[in-house]
Structure 1
Amino acid sequence: MNEQDIVSFLQSNPDFFAQNPDLLAQINVPHNLGGQAISLTERQVATLRDKLNQVQSKLAELVGFGEENDNISAKVHRLTLSLLIAESFESVSHSVYSHLTEDFAVPHVQLRIWNSILKRPLPEFIEVSEEVRFAAADMQRPACGPAVPGEILLWFGEPGDYLKSWALIPLRRDAQVFGMLALGSEDPQRFFPEMGTLYVERIGDMVSAAVRRYIG
């Protein structure tokens, strides 16, 4: 009988030690720490304790993710309510800037609108190049990462020289892109290519709907 035969036998007879309880006290195995011998039962308890610690750690991580998602959902809800009660384009833009900078702690936010019937003497309606408009039209979802076209960098003025990561969110009327919401941060890890964009997309949808009410 070799080692594998013993393993196969024990796997086929899981109640073997239950039928031979005295044998457990006679079997010693090295402990992971220090090399001293402990009984098989003690080793099983230690193994189960390690597995329990791993499960508890994973559970704590999942709870943390859940709490973070709940927190983000609450912020999105507050932004939604603010956009719903906005009675002008100016109040819509104010809600966007205030909630994203204060509630979401995004340090730099810029909004640009084009293809609008109505024009206003506001920074949001400053002329945007065809390059940016075409790039936005090609975006299927928000783009996050360290790279941003130079023109968009200029939207942020002097702080743009210090920004390290970006989220660019196209604003749509059906299939047509009519603007962009640009978020910037000095933290290079704030927005990165692999990050999830579900909430960012929802914010883009809500801002698009609110802006469309007032730009024609």
Structure 2
Amino acid sequence: MVSDKVAKNKNETDMSSTAKIDDSLREKIISQPDMVLDDQDLMRALIAANEKTMGGNIVDLRGIAMERLEARLDRLEDTHRSVIAAAYENLAGTNQVHRAILRMLDPVEFEPFLHDLGGEVADILRVDSVRLVLESVQSEDDPAIKKLGDVLSVAEPGFIDDYLNGGRNVPLRQVTLRQLHSGSEQIYGEDSDWIRSEACLKLDFGDGRLPGMLVMGAEDPHQFTPQQGTDLLAFFAGVFERAMRRWLS
């Protein structure tokens, strides 16, 4: 009798320790299993509970595979987010350059055309300084050049190549992006002390003409770095070259 009572109590204890799930919740899970499968925290808890029942001496290959798949999925999601962010950034940059080009082409006279470079065009591009450097045998004391001194710098022939390659014999690119300790006083004038990065766009005005350079300077040292793409700025330089050829003809 005593042993029967002990066995009965043990059975009752086992039944009570295995708590039954609420019927309504059970029906909901059966009708919508994806609700459980899509919940990562819930799936982790179920897998952990399953591992406990198997004991510590059993290797759960399925659990290891799921952990690896989970880590791979996290990496794919991070990559996906990075790709989307880069796409949005590229689209915003394209729109920005297009707006700057349309504004640059608005003036019908040369002087407003140049002054707009340091004004609204610079604002649209979100740079702190825009300067046009022209190689010329003319002196900067020329009255026509002095009127445009806030945007235009005149340099002797050969200055642009020396400025871009630093005196080294290296191939020159159309667009050069770099960080600086400070800008060139000859180009930026009084603003040179706080220029920390720049984009240099070398300009070809056609046969028989000396080259030019459009320089965009920024106070932010990370605005222009050599690791960035240059396609949009190369396109901007191409449009600017064609606009300048119209004025120089």
Normalising to structure 1: TM-score of the pair? Answer: 0.69
Alignment of 1:103 onto 2:129: no
- How much has 1:130 moved relative to structure 2? 2.5
Identity %: 22
CA contact (8 A) 2:181 2:196 kept: no
Question: Are the structure 2 counterparts of residues 61 and 165 from structure 1 closer, same or farther at C-alpha, using a change threshold of 3 Å?
Answer: same
Aligned positions, number: 184
- 1:53 aligns with 74
C-alpha change, 1:168 and 1:36, in structure 2 (3 Å) is farther
Q: Which runs of 5+ in 2 are unaligned?
A: 1-46, 139-143, 165-170
Mapping for residues 53-202 of structure 1, pairs under 5 Å: 53-114=74-135, 121-123=147-149, 124=151, 126-135=153-162, 139-146=172-179, 152-174=184-206, 177-202=210-235
Which runs of at least 4 in structure 1 moved beyond 6 Å after TM superposition? 35-38
Structure 1 unaligned runs (5+)? 1-24, 30-34
Contact 1:96 1:207 in 2 (8 A): no
Larger radius of gyration: 2
Cα distance between partner residues in 2 of 1:116 and 1:90: 20
TM-score between both structures, scaled by the size of structure 2:
0.61
Q: Distance in 2 between matches of 1:57 and 1:166?
A: 31
8 Å CA contact 1:114–1:125 kept in 2: the answer is no
Partner in structure 1 of residue 61 of structure 2 = 40
For residues 120-158 of structure 1, the C-alpha deviation after alignment (integer angstroms, 9 at most, x for no partner) is 5422555312341454797431222235998x4333222
Amino acid at match of 2:200: L
Flag the structure with more relative contact order, 1 or 2, with Cα contacts below 8 A and sequence separation at least 6.
1
Aligned mates of 2:204, 2:58 — CA distance in 1: 69
What one-letter code is carried by the residue in structure 1 that aligns with 2:156?
A: S
The alpha-carbon deviation at position 100 of structure 1 amounts to 4.3
Distance 1:170 1:146, change over 3 A: same
Q: 1:197 to 1:116 in 2, by over 3 A?
A: farther
Aligned-pair CA distance for 1:88: 1.6
Q: Give yes or no for contact 1:172–1:179 (8 Å, CA) kept in 2.
A: yes
- Looking at structure 2, the residues matched to 105 and 67 of structure 1 have their Cα atoms a distance apart, in angstroms, of 17
Structure 2 vs 1, CA of residues 181 and 148 (structure 1 numbering), >3 Å: closer, same or farther?
farther
Alignment CA distance shift 1:62-1:125 (3 Å)? closer
The match for 2:240 is 207
